[in-house]
A and B are shown apart, each in its own frame.
Chain A
C-alpha cells in the first residue's frame, strides 16, 4: 500500500520556482489498477516519479507498506526502487547497445540482495509469454514499437515488483498495438497481482483503470 500525506515537490527552473506537485494526499492499495490523469505539464509525471521513489518530496510523507520512504538515502531508495517498482515509459527507454534479453536483465545489475530465482530463466519466460522470445537477440532499434514496449514491460516485471508505473505507455504506438499493451497491463494486474498505475492524458486509456485520479496544476482535482 502506498500512502501520500500532503506531498509537495518544488523545482527550480533557473530562478523560477515551480511547484510541480502541490499538497497531494492519496492512498493506492495493493493490486489496484489506477489511472493518474492530467494535461501535459499538470505534474502527473512528477507525481509518478515520487510514487516510483525516483525523487523524494520537498514536503510531506510517502509511506510504502508502512515504511516512511520520503527521507531515505540514495542507496536505500535505489534498493527499494529496484525491488519494488517497475517502470514502463512512453519512449520505451530501452538501451539500443544491449540486446532485447540484456535489456530485460538490466535491473539485475542493480539488485543489492541475492535473488531466489534465476533471472535469465525468468526473463526468457516473460519474453515467451509476451510473444517476443524469438526477438531476444535482436537490438531494440531492429524491432517494432509494440514489441519494444513489450520488452520494456518484461524488464519492468523481471524482479517481481509490487508496483508497475506506466507513463503514457501507448503514446508512441498505433491504436491497435496500444490496445494490446493496455490489455497486457490489465492482465499482469490480474495474473501477477501487481499494482498498476497508468499515467496518461488520454481518458480512453484511463477507461481500463478501476479508479482515476485527476491532476491539474500539481493539485488533485478529482478522484473517481
Chain B
C-alpha cells in the first residue's frame, strides 16, 4: 500500500514536493524554535551552575513574591530596595555557617585600555569573590585582602575585555585600564567563564570604589558562600534575621541559585510553549495544503476508484489507499523538515548553543503523521463513499 502511494506521489513530483513543503516548513520551524528555546534555557542554566555550589545571593528589593512566583520581572525588584553597607557585611560575617561574605558594587562603566574603549561592568568586591565564583586566573593573579584594605588601584579583567583590548591575556598585565577617569593597574585576567556579565567586567577592590565611583559606600548585592550544602537553609534564615535588624522585609531578598533557576526555567518553559504554538500554525497551514491536494487527487482519480471497486476493493481499501498517501506525503515533509533543522542546528552551533533534542524529533514526526491522518481522512472518506458505478463512468 505504501509502495502504491509512492508510485502515485512520484508521478507528480513537483506537486508532491510543493505539498510536502508546507509540512517541511512547519516541522522545520517547530524544531528550530524548540532548539533555540532549549539552547537559551541551557545557556542560562549553565551560567547559574558556573557560579558554584552553596551560593546564596542577597539582592535589593522583593525579587520573589511569597508564593515563589516572579514579581513583575527584574525591573522593580532591582531598582528599589536596600543599598547594602559595610555594616551589613560585618553583621553577616558573624554567622558561623558562612565561609564567605562577599559584597559587590556593580556599575556600568566605560572601560578604556590599550588605546580602545567599550562599555562593560565595573565590579567592586572583596578578595573572596574569586573563590566564591570559582574563578581561576588566565594570566597574572587576583588581588588579596591587603590590596582591598589599602584601596589599591588594581584591576582584574574579564576574559572578553582582555581579549578585545590586548593580543593575549599576558600582554594585558601591568597595563593601565581607565574606569570613569580613574586609572587602575591590570594585575590579572580571569579565565573565560562563558558568562557575559563576568567576562565583560573589570573587577577591582571594593574599597577602591569608595570615593568618586561609590560615594555612599554601598553595595548592590552580597554573595554568601556557605560551608556545607546541609546548612543552606539555616544560613539563609540567619542571614535574613540579621538583615531584618537593618532593613525592612521588602527591602531585600535572600535567594538561592536553585530558586532563581526554577523561576528562570518556568519563564523559559512558557516562552518555549509560545514558540511551539507559533510554529504549529505553519504546521496546520501545511496540513490544509495536503487536504486541498488530496481533494483534487480524489476528483482526478474518480475513475480509478471506480475501477478498483469493480475489481473487488472495499470502501475501506479505498479509504486506506488515500489515507496512506496523505500520511506518506506529510511524513516525507516531516523528515525533510527535520533534516533541514538538523543542518541548521549544526550551522548555528558555533554561534549559539542550540540543541536538537530527541523529544523534538519524536514530536515532530508524530505530529506530521497525525496531520497526514487528520487532513487526509476527509478526502479519503469522500473517495471511499463514491458510488462505484458513477465513478467508473466518470470522465
How many A-B residue pairs lie within 8 Å, measured between CB atoms?
Answer: 60
CA distance A82 to B307 in the complex (A): 12
Query: B317 touches which one: A49, A95, A110, A155 (CB < 8 A)?
Result: A110
- On whether the beta carbons of B307 and A93 are closer than 8 Å, the reply is yes
In the complex, the answer to whether B303 meets A93 with C-beta atoms within 8 Å is yes
Are B307 and A49 in contact (CB-based, < 8 A)? no
In the bound complex, how far is the Cα of B316 from the Cα of A112, in angstroms? Answer: 13
What bracket does the count of chain B residues touching chain A fall in? Answer: 20 to 34
Q: Which of A73-81, A127-135, A188-196 contacts B (4 or more CB under 8 A)?
A: A73-81
Known pairs A49-B389, A74-B314, A78-B314; A106 contacts B308 (CB<8 A): yes
Are the C-beta atoms of A82 and B388 separated by less than 8 Å? no
Q: Residue B311 contacts which of A74, A75, A82 (CB distance < 8 angstroms)?
A: A82
Instruction: Give B395's nearest chain A residue, CB to CB.
Output: A91
Please report the C-alpha to C-alpha distance between residue A106 and residue B7 in the assembled complex, in whole angstroms: 14
Cβ of B236 within 8 Å of any chain A Cβ, yes or no, is no
Q: From the candidates B8, B310, B314, name the one contacting A54 in the complex (CB within 8 A).
A: B310
B11 on the A face (CB < 8 A)? yes
Residues in A neighbouring B392, C-beta threshold 8 A: 54, 89, 93
Bound-state CA distance A107–B389 (Å) is 18
What class of interface size applies to chain A in its complex with B?
Answer: 20 to 34
B307, B311, B316, B392: residue with the most chain A Cβ atoms closer than 10 Å: B311
Please encode chain B, from 291 to 321, with 1 for each CB lying within 8 Å of some chain A CB and 0 for all others: 0000000000001101111111111110000
What is the CA–CA distance of A89 and B306 in the complex, to the nearest angstrom?
A: 12
A106 to B308, CA, bound (A): 8
Q: Is A111 positioned at the interface, with any CB of B under 8 Å from its CB?
A: yes
The answer to whether A83 and B312 touch across the interface, beta carbons within 8 angstroms, is yes
* Residues of chain A lying within 8 A (CB to CB) of residue B315: 74
With A74-B315, A110-B312, A110-B317 as contacts: A54 and B7 at CB distance below 8 Å: no
CB of A54 within 8 A of CB of B307, answer no
Other contacts beyond A54-B389, A110-B311: 13, CB < 8 A: A45-B389, A54-B388, A55-B389, A78-B309, A78-B313, A79-B314, A82-B311, A93-B307, A95-B304, A106-B308, A109-B317, A110-B313, A111-B312
List chain A positions with a Cβ less than 8 A from chain B: 45-46, 49, 52, 54-55, 74-75, 78-79, 81-83, 87, 89, 93, 95, 97-98, 106-107, 109-112, 155
5 A–B contacts from the bound complex (CB under 8 Å): A45-B389, A79-B312, A81-B310, A97-B11, A110-B312
